[in-house]
Amino acid sequence: MLYLASQSPRRRELLGQIGTVFRTLDVDVEEIRRADESPDDYVVRVALDKVRAGYEQVRGEADATVLSADTEVILGDEVFGKPRDAADAAAMLERLSGREHRVVSAVWVKGERGEVAVSTVRFATLAAADIQAYVDTGECFGKAGAYAIQGRAAAFIAHLSGTYSGVMGLPLHETYRLLRGQ
């Protein structure tokens, strides 16, 4: 049985999109970047911590396989996690406005095999009113970088290079390869 160590509705939707049967696990791991950790290493470590925490919950099952992921928006050396509140979301979007950033998504299976997908996203220049209107929708909450590429924020994306599903939170090509042992 495959277990997804995530309660993310986007990850559940994406995993289902490739015809995978799975159950979800609720894992709680600390998502704090260490002082000596690069943004990319941080994303990989958090995904690995999640798969290990998930595996601890099902380790007694002979056929248990656990999949986990972590996705972060990175501007320069700064990791933009999920916004704390509306002001934090607006500040993130203001910083991303008119700029290019990276979205790093790491996927692990059972703590043995991992893949990383890196996408580059360029936002159009956003007016303050557009940012406020978007924050007011509430769509920004629970999303790294305070935006959902699959939602209303799609209108903000001037250019995407990389994997759309990775920006959503689960890079499907890499996930598919891992699940097939490739």
CA triple 61-172-134, angle to 5 deg: 115
Write down the mean pLDDT value for the chain.
96
Structure tokens of 24? 């979800």
Q: Is the pLDDT of residue 19 over 90?
A: yes
Residue type at position 118: V
Does the annotation mark 28 as catalytic? no
Condensed to tens digits (0 to 9), the pLDDT of residues 138-170 reads 999 999 999 999 999 999 999 999 999 999 999
CB 169 within 8 A of CB 8: yes
Condensed to tens digits (0 to 9), the pLDDT of residues 122-144 reads 999 999 999 999 999 999 999 99
Q: Is the pLDDT of residue 111 over 80?
A: no
Q: Is the pLDDT of residue 7 over 90?
A: no
SS3 1: coil
Q: Is the pLDDT of residue 103 over 70?
A: yes
Condensed to tens digits (0 to 9), the pLDDT of residues 31-60 reads 999 999 999 999 999 999 999 999 999 999
How many beta carbons lie within 10 A of that of residue 143, not counting itself?
A: 25
Q: How high is the pLDDT of residue 76?
A: 96
DSSP state of 180: T
Q: How high is the pLDDT of residue 181?
A: 84
Structure tokens of 166? 């990775």
Q: Which residues contact 129 (CB under 8 A, 6 or more apart)?
A: none
Condensed to tens digits (0 to 9), the pLDDT of residues 53-67 reads 999 999 999 899 999
Place of tokens 């911590």: 49
Pick the catalytic residue: 26, 41, 49, 70? 70
* Domains defined for the chain, CATH in brackets: 2-179 (3.90.950.10)
pTM metric for this prediction = 0.95
How far is it, in rounded angstroms, from Cα 74 to Cα 53? 25
